[in-house]
Structure 1
Amino acid sequence: MQLYGVRGQSQYGLDVVGTAPDGSRHGIQGKRYRTFTKLDLTKAVNKFISKRGNIPFPIARLVVAAGCLAERTEITHELYRLQDLHTDVQIELWHQRTISDKLRNRRDIVVELFSEAVADAFCLPAPLHVVAAPSPDRVTLADALLYGPAEITGAAQHLAGADNLSSTNPLSAVAELEQAAKLLAEGGFTAHATVVLDRRAVLLTQADEHDKAARLQDSAFWSALEDGRHDDAETHARNLKKNANTAVSKAFSDIAAAAINIVRHPLGALPPQLEQLRTDSTELSFAQLLILAAEDAAIDPSNTWRQDNLAALITQANLIEGSPSDGAVLACKLRLEVASLTGDWIGLLGKARKHQVPRDQAMLIYARNAMYHAERGESEQAEASWADAMTQACLNGQNGAAAEYVAARTFIRVRFRGPIAQNNDHQLVRSLRAQSPASTSAERFEEKAMRALLDDKPHVAVPLLRALHRAAYSAGAWVQLDRARRLLANVYGSAGESLLAVKLHVLGAQSKKAASVAKEDPNTYLDVREFLSSPAYWVAGTAYRVLAAEADLIPDNDVGFVTDSALSVLDDAAANKLQDGIYDSSAWRNAITALAALAKRLPDEHALRILEHSRPWVPREPGRHRRTDDDHVRLCAGIAFAHPVHRADAIDQLLGLLEANDSAVSRKTEHAMADLVQQHPEMVRERLARMTADGNPYAARLLLLITGQPTEEQLIAAAAAGERLRKPPTSTAHSLGIGTGAAGQALLARVLPSDERRELARHQLAHAAFPFEPGENRSEYYDAARILAHDLDDVDDLFDNAMLHAHNSTPSRGDLLNNLGNHPLGMFRMTGFTVDTRAHALWLAALLARTDEQKQEVRALGYLLIGSTENADWYIAHAFQALDLADADHDLAFLASQPHWALRSLAALIWTRSADAPANIGSLLTNDADPRVRCTFAEGASSSDNPAAPNLREILLTDPCHSVRQGARR
């Protein structure tokens, strides 16, 4: 919208012209009259119509605007006549009332032309329709998008001048480029300014100023690395190498090449010594290389590069302390690395507290000091230093950094005090981050890395994640550092770098993931003993969790060290000297888990010490559970089996846990004691009898294992169990029950007469066929029938019924109900329940097979069911084992090549019992990837008549797994 013409010019009946959003042209003819008549309207329109041919653009809409009222009927009639006469143009009449109505909703115009007071009285009480004038920088940016930054900022003429001078006077061209870069930077286009400055190096090279060109390329190289532009950094490194014509330029090139090797290598390629790269002309660049290497070495806690180069770090910091430019900043970073290694923070903290360094350096000193204490479990010192870092960050206007330090302080509080320690810190973090919208280099690294992982490019993601780790470590941002460790550990784990993955998980207190990585490779010992002495409980605790997961792989010479360290944790806890947490990474809980996993390998004196610690865990109030119950049972069972001198004490504690008569710990104890009871009946008989008399069903079932002729009390208990086994299932469409207890009742009822047991077994199969019984319950009924009928004669009807169940793949209604709401994205999910129970029924059928035809029928169906579910092969292996293994010799090669370890273990049994089994299959099983298969083979090879067995046994005696070596020694 603009005025059309100036005073004295012909305006062709228009005062104002403008362009509508649709591109059409509109015109306004203003009439400042006291009165406005029909004739005035006619003259105004005719003037425009007669002159519009002189206007070089079409006018689609004509508005006649009168400053007075124009509401008389003749004026309205004339307006309609003119509109009908000139249909090619839209004619409108605005007068005082219509203009006022339009202005009532445009308070901004009224305020501009009149005043706030007039607007208050005149305008409607509605939200302002204000289009605020943009700030100058936004106008510049918008224009730059249309015309280019160089044109808007005035840099274009300098760039053109540089082009004209580049061939004749390159040094003058450099000056023009510097002026252009200055204008671009002042206009906010720093990226464009950087590109312009990069051109200077080319011109300086043309002018034979190789050293100056190298310094420019070196500066651009480190700027690109810090910003995460690794490709740009490599370009600068190549340019440095291409133009390395002098000693100085070659020194810069060598430093850049070393830095690129560090940055690009997925595991960090750190040369042992870097001193040969240092020259007097490259002090600052060499300092940056040392800082990069030190920060990269910090990723792997076992890397000793920083310790090996401590003297170089100190020397370089001293050399550049007083250097201009970035010398003081780089010296501070070098001294931070030295302090992190030596623990000597007095000098740095003194400078920060006395305000002898700028705020940004003081902030770094406090933050790194806080992280140093946090990594050592020193909560109070860490919180205090992070509070100082927060203060410095806020005073320096770095609210994003302050948010990171608040988050880190919360993180350490939660580690020691639990989630309640968060208070309102998360709200403070959000507020600070809202005041710092600009992203940091660490956030950019993380974003690029996540994008690479999303695109399934781990080789691209790892260097970026290492850069994220370096940035977070350098800034003392502990939460970001923890995130970088977890991301790196996940990628390293999936790439087969198990040891580094486990170490990063240990530092990040990811105990479950660390143990999972250790279990994924059951033949590689991941040595994390160095972390057991960490003062941070979560590091030591996670290390114990890893060692528990790989207990079978710990070398014999290391067992004593691990168990002694774990016992020292228990000693500290007993003396109230242990600093520990409540999470999965608890040092105390995981030390017990490690001792339980190593129970059969404990030195005798260590077995005695742990039994002394565990004795107070036995007595308990009814219904009370302890977090140590599972490990306590495993620990005592292992000691009872492996340490005869301490067997009585261990069994005494197990019986104490059994005496609790609690469904959780007592059931676990019953399962763990079954073999012990049968091996040492006189040590347990009297106490089991007393518990049985007190109504303890767990003791009653164990007592039956060592009872020849059942007592009257046992017969009464068996009859009662039989009655419970006869009761029909209670699951319906409205109420689904999980768990039947049928197997436990069958153990009590197995002393009943044969006919009664046969009848009870029929009941179990009938119960399994109920429509609303889920697979979890069916499997228990099959187990109960197996316990009751496995040794009976005349069971053809039971066999036929079991085979019907083994053939039936249709899920019951109970299975379908169990799967309701099991969408992987749902908030409510039920997992871990058995649905397909055909293999369970097949095992029962195998135990009931009495004729060759029946056994062949079981074997044929078993081969069809292999791989039908995740756990089906385990039951199929037990079914085949219940048949005559001699008949399976011809299936040896097939079973030895199956994916599931249970079937390969069955092949190992078949091989060791056959004198004619091929040696190549034996060799294959000896080198099986699963130690359970090798252990089965080792136990059988000791007594095998196969001529190849002795040589294969010798191989197994050097196996990395203790259980395999132990089996081969028998």
Structure 2
Amino acid sequence: MENAVTEELADTGYVQLSLADLSGRVQQPLASLPTRTPKQLPLTELDPEAFEWLIAEIVSRQDNRGVQFYGRKGQKQHGLDIVAREPDQRRSLYQVKRYQQLTAPRIKEAVEDYAGSPRPQGHTEPSRLFNPYRFVVVTSAELDSDTTYVDTVADLQDAYVGDLEIEFWGAEAVGRKLRDATSLVTAVFGKVWAEAWCGGASLPNDADAPRPLGLVSGPVAVLGLQSLEDNAKASEKDPARAARLYGELADALAQGNFPGHAAHVRARQAHMAVAAGDADAAFDLLFELQLNEILRGQTSVRSGSLEGLASKAAQPRVAKWTVLECVADWYEQGSQLPQTVPALRRLTAAADPHAGLLCCLVLEQALVDELYDGPASSLVVEPEDAPSALLSELRELAQSTDSRDVFIRARLACAVADASLALDSMPADVESVYSPLVSAAGAGRYQQARGLIISRAARAFALRGAPDRAAELWNQSVLASSEDGWFGDARFALRATRQLANDQGGLVLGLDAITRALPNRKQLLAGTFNPALTAYEAAHRDKLPDAFGDTRRYLWESRLQGAWQEELMAMELLGDVLAAGEHPALAVESYLRSGAAQKAVQVAKEMQEPVDVSGWLRSPVRRCVAAAVQVAQAQEALITDANADPLVSSLLNVAEGLWQSPAVLPHPELDAVKAIGEFAHRLPDSAVDSVLSLLEPAMAKKRATTGKPPSSLSTCSTSSRNGETTSRGRLPP
């Protein structure tokens, strides 16, 4: 339609406009204030340009298949023609005329000036401009209140029947169309008029949100930057000048909250800098672009140009590129400390402004890789690639750096605290490293990152056997995150308390009702996409490389947010991906970490080698212990006699307190008794008395009922003491 209309407009004096052009016509504050129930909106008080924009917005929001806007060359305001293509492909023409007052002759004149005289069927006259089937005159004056005007419009409709459909929108019709357009009324007339006319003003715009029109019409036009962009393009024969102009354009786009468009222009600026011979400036621009991509949550980045510039650069740029490349590859490769730590050492010594942020990113990735949990604890990094000397130096480098960004300072502090703990650390160790941070967060030192710090402390306590302290801190995080507007983080903290309670045999009621009251799902560490959704989608489609990277991002976000339930879900999903990729041992390990007992057992049963679960049998996390016990039971046939004795001893330790433990899942004590039954035919003599002592309450109950102990238990006891082995003797439940 646009090309056909453009041809029609040749030599007519019309010029095509965009909605972005019209949106720049800002209305000055109105003098009048509404009554409690205003009769009409003050359309006649609007500036002509503002009224034209208002009608353009109304027509654009109707059900149509495209809208074009046309004004007169050289005239600031001579009415506005709007051509809309209807769903049936016919055209409607709207002419905007800001009349202060209507008269019957003026109504006739408005129609006849465009349409001329009515045309009979079969006429041979040329088509009218824009060739519409419907002609709508829109005015700011009242029409419906005067029967003379209404009758005049009706007479015109009768006169043009079969030729052209005629409509007239007066102030009343425009007002009706705006009754539910709260945001538009707020933008044009102000909050007070929106409350009076629509029943409430639109919510205030997020300070970080772009102008909505820029999302569909292009931010350059919406922000009035077209001439700057044209000048930059025209200057490309002078690369240095073009680079400067593209930099100004990128700055303006960034300030207008269009970071993606700004990044595109920055890349062009870097290209011009290279052409001008300023490789260092180009490197710095591209480095910032790639770093921002990583911070936005991208699991892969394009770095060809940056790599080429890095090969020619000097320190510290080479070190920065080394770290950035390893950080970007982490989702697929894991931590690469032999490369990153020496590079961070150089950056820290040079007091590079990015040193603190890069130390934070590398240390956080090492934490998610479980490199500080203990020897050989990582699923993705071999022990020889993460020696203790490098781990200690990385922690010390992070502790020695700083950042102007308060959020990065908070993340650095939490990362250093976590890196000071092993998985088998005691609650007192957690208290010593996190207590100062929690106190500082409560005092406001970390501003709106306080909820993050408190959640990280809660997670550290939960994993090290202090559930009461963890629950207390997660509740504090709910309050802090809610007060600071991070309701997504508050939701995660609430879900963590429920997970914690469930694992301890407790019950949290009403959580769904509470979370539905949260007004948003904003998260401090959230990227620009939901990694959980993309990870599940990739796993469902068997796109294992994508699923692995996205799941690692999901794990990264949940782990570093202190979102314990989400972390367990991410770790379980990682187990699914590893199992699908035929890495059963790693899959079982992931399932053990998440407490996904059934999945762990399912994979373990198909393995030819036993999984070492001894460490998880000592875990203070009940779900992990239960999963480990069930895997040991499932792999009984694979466990040698030499390893069976210490394993049974560990199972007996788990089973202690059986009669005092909560009778709900997870129930590692009961699972341990069942597992011991699987090993009954080869119980060591040293274990029999412990088994009998463990089952004494059941034996006493049996004696009280029948007068004799359970026969199978007697047989098991006698067989073990005589050194005999039964085919598959089991202890009684």
In the other structure, the counterpart of 2:192 is: none
The question of 1:155 aligning with 2:225 is answered yes
Q: CA RMSD in A?
A: 5.1
CA 1:236 to 1:542, structure 2 compared with 1: closer, same or farther past 3 Å?
Answer: farther
Letter in 1 for 2:553: A
Q: Deviations over 1:647-680 (max 9, x none)?
A: 99x99x98xx7xxxxxxx8xxxxxxxxxxxxxxx
In the other structure, the counterpart of 1:275 is: 341
In the other structure, the counterpart of 2:482 is: 394
Give the deviation of 1:596 after TM superposition. 1.1
In the other structure, the counterpart of 2:163 is: 89
The question of 1:226 aligning with 2:295 is answered yes
Larger relative contact order (Cα-Cα within 8 Å, sequence gap ≥ 6): 2
Give the deviation of 1:253 after TM superposition. 2.5
Secondary structure (helix, strand or coil) at the match of 1:500 reads helix
Structure 2, unaligned stretches of length 5 or more? Answer: 1-50, 56-69, 73-78, 120-124, 138-142, 181-195
Alignment of 1:190-209 (within 5 A): 190-209=259-278
Give the deviation of 1:543 after TM superposition. 1.1
Letter in 1 for 2:331: V
Contact 2:360–2:412 under 8 Å retained in 1: no
1:263 aligned residue (324, 327, 331)? 331
In the other structure, the counterpart of 1:792 is: none
CA 1:16 to 1:591, structure 2 compared with 1: closer, same or farther past 3 Å?
Answer: closer
In the other structure, the counterpart of 1:253 is: 321
In the other structure, the counterpart of 2:362 is: 290
In the other structure, the counterpart of 1:564 is: 649
Q: Percent identity?
A: 19
Contact 2:592–2:600 under 8 Å retained in 1: yes
Give the deviation of 1:445 after TM superposition. 1.6
Aligned equivalents of 1:144, 1:104: Cα separation in 2: 26
In the other structure, the counterpart of 1:773 is: none
Q: Deviations over 1:887-906 (max 9, x none)?
A: xxxxxxxxxxxxxxxxxxxx
Give the deviation of 1:238 after TM superposition. 3.5
Q: Deviations over 1:119-146 (max 9, x none)?
A: xxxxxxxx98999999999998564355
Q: Deviations over 1:688-743 (max 9, x none)?
A: xxxxxxxxxxxxxxxxxxxxxxxxxxxxxxxxxxxxxxxxxxxxxxxxxxxxxxxx
Give the deviation of 1:549 after TM superposition. 0.8
Letter in 2 for 1:277: A
Q: Which has the larger radius of gyration?
A: 1
Contact 2:246–2:265 under 8 Å retained in 1: yes
In the other structure, the counterpart of 1:448 is: 534
In the other structure, the counterpart of 2:605 is: 519
Alignment of 1:37-52 (within 5 A): none
CA 1:201 to 1:640, structure 2 compared with 1: closer, same or farther past 3 Å?
Answer: farther
Name the one with the larger helix percent: 1
CA 1:141 to 1:437, structure 2 compared with 1: closer, same or farther past 3 Å?
Answer: farther
Give the deviation of 1:475 after TM superposition. 1.2
The question of 1:332 aligning with 2:413 is answered yes
Aligned equivalents of 1:93, 1:130: Cα separation in 2: 28
In the other structure, the counterpart of 1:238 is: 307
Contact 2:688–2:720 under 8 Å retained in 1: no
In the other structure, the counterpart of 1:319 is: 400
What TM-score do the two structures reach when normalised by structure 1?
0.53
CA 1:340 to 1:164, structure 2 compared with 1: closer, same or farther past 3 Å?
Answer: farther
In the other structure, the counterpart of 1:491 is: 577
The question of 1:478 aligning with 2:564 is answered yes
Give the deviation of 1:476 after TM superposition. 0.8
Structure 1, unaligned stretches of length 5 or more? Answer: 7-14, 110-126, 658-664, 666-970
Q: Structure 1 residues 134-143 or 457-466, which shifts more?
A: 134-143
In the other structure, the counterpart of 1:183 is: 252
Give the deviation of 1:506 after TM superposition. 1.6
Letter in 1 for 2:322: D
Give the deviation of 1:532 after TM superposition. 1.4
Alignment of 1:759-798 (within 5 A): none
Give the deviation of 1:486 after TM superposition. 0.8
In the other structure, the counterpart of 1:730 is: none
Aligned equivalents of 2:296, 2:172: Cα separation in 1: 56
Contact 2:571–2:594 under 8 Å retained in 1: yes
Secondary structure (helix, strand or coil) at the match of 2:465 reads coil
1:368 aligned residue (442, 446, 456)? 456
Give the deviation of 1:499 after TM superposition. 2.0
Contact 2:210–2:258 under 8 Å retained in 1: no
In the other structure, the counterpart of 1:774 is: none
In the other structure, the counterpart of 1:893 is: none
Give the deviation of 1:86 after TM superposition. 6.3
Secondary structure (helix, strand or coil) at the match of 1:232 reads coil
Aligned equivalents of 1:62, 1:385: Cα separation in 2: 66
In the other structure, the counterpart of 2:629 is: 544
Aligned equivalents of 2:658, 2:203: Cα separation in 1: 66
Contact 1:599–1:607 under 8 Å retained in 2: no
CA 1:175 to 1:137, structure 2 compared with 1: closer, same or farther past 3 Å?
Answer: farther
In the other structure, the counterpart of 1:612 is: 693
Contact 1:492–1:500 under 8 Å retained in 2: yes
Secondary structure (helix, strand or coil) at the match of 1:486 reads helix
Aligned equivalents of 1:191, 1:468: Cα separation in 2: 23
Contact 2:626–2:667 under 8 Å retained in 1: yes
Contact 2:322–2:339 under 8 Å retained in 1: no
Give the deviation of 1:90 after TM superposition. 5.3
Give the deviation of 1:584 after TM superposition. 4.3
In the other structure, the counterpart of 1:468 is: 554
Aligned equivalents of 1:91, 1:51: Cα separation in 2: 11
Aligned equivalents of 1:41, 1:211: Cα separation in 2: 69
Letter in 1 for 2:625: A
CA 1:154 to 1:566, structure 2 compared with 1: closer, same or farther past 3 Å?
Answer: same
Letter in 2 for 1:321: D
CA 1:60 to 1:561, structure 2 compared with 1: closer, same or farther past 3 Å?
Answer: closer
Q: Deviations over 1:154-201 (max 9, x none)?
A: 33433444444455352x444323321222123221111122223444
Q: Deviations over 1:524-565 (max 9, x none)?
A: 111111111112222222211111111121233222211112
Give the deviation of 1:251 after TM superposition. 1.7
Aligned equivalents of 1:414, 1:233: Cα separation in 2: 44
CA 1:306 to 1:403, structure 2 compared with 1: closer, same or farther past 3 Å?
Answer: farther
- Give the aligned length: 601
Give the deviation of 1:363 after TM superposition. 2.3
Aligned equivalents of 1:442, 1:140: Cα separation in 2: 14
Aligned equivalents of 1:216, 1:193: Cα separation in 2: 12
CA 1:501 to 1:295, structure 2 compared with 1: closer, same or farther past 3 Å?
Answer: same
